[in-house]
Amino acid sequence: MYDVLLIALIIVSILLIITVVMLPSKTNAASALSGGAEQLFGKQKARGFEAGLRRTTALLGTIFIVIALVLAYLSSN
């Protein structure tokens, strides 16, 4: 069981890295001059591909944490 979860953790971590790298960047060169006001007032809802990537990233992150906690519990017993 431990080995299966360890392999699953490795696979999830690789997929998580790929999805985080695929997310579009939100940085803007002018944001340093505006004090971040654009991030506060110019915030738009993610749609389509970006929304799917955000959901996938959150799901993979949750799965990663759960598997890591289970592995920590199994290794302590």
Query: Helices 49-76 & 2-22, crossing angle to 10 degrees?
Result: 150
Q: What is the pLDDT of residue 38?
A: 54
What are the tens digits of pLDDT across the range 23-45?
A: 888 766 555 555 555 555 556 66
Total Cβ atoms within 10 A of residue 63: 17
Which DSSP helix (H) or strand (E) runs through 15? helix 2-22
Q: Is the pLDDT of residue 68 over 60?
A: yes
60 three-class SS: helix
- Alpha carbon distance 52, 50 (integer Å): 5
Cα 65 from chain centre: 11
pLDDT band, very low/low/confident/very high, at 19 (cuts 50, 70, 90) = very high
